[in-house]
Amino acid sequence: MLRSLNQVMDALDIETFFICQSEQEGKNLMLSLLTNMGFKDIDIVFAQYAGPGARIRGRAYVHRPADQYRWLFADTGKEGE
């Protein structure tokens, strides 16, 4: 998985439907899921409560603009230089 993450240009979106009591609970569940997956720079980009729960799309930023992009160094072996 690490090699794949090194090729991500900007961010990774994950969307699912959580069984929960409110939109806020769904957002909290998504933030917890992304944190437990090891991502530190995370956000909620979509939330809609309907019926038994909420459809939530979370975003985990692998690179923000002006970061040192790992994919630039993938072929050279100069990661971090």
Q: Where are the beta strands (DSSP E) in 29-75?
A: 42-50, 53-61
Q: Distances in Å between the alpha carbon of 76 and those of 37, 54, 80?
A: 28, 44, 11
pLDDT at 75: 63
pLDDT at 1: 66
Distance CA 10, CA 14 (A): 14
pLDDT at 49: 98
Is 0.85 surpassed by the pTM of this model?
no
Digit-by-digit pLDDT tens for the chain (81 residues) are: 677 888 888 999 999 999 999 999 999 999 999 999 999 999 999 999 999 999 999 999 998 888 887 777 766 545 444
Q: Distances in Å between the alpha carbon of 58 and those of 9, 12, 72, 81?
A: 17, 8, 26, 31
pLDDT at 12: 96
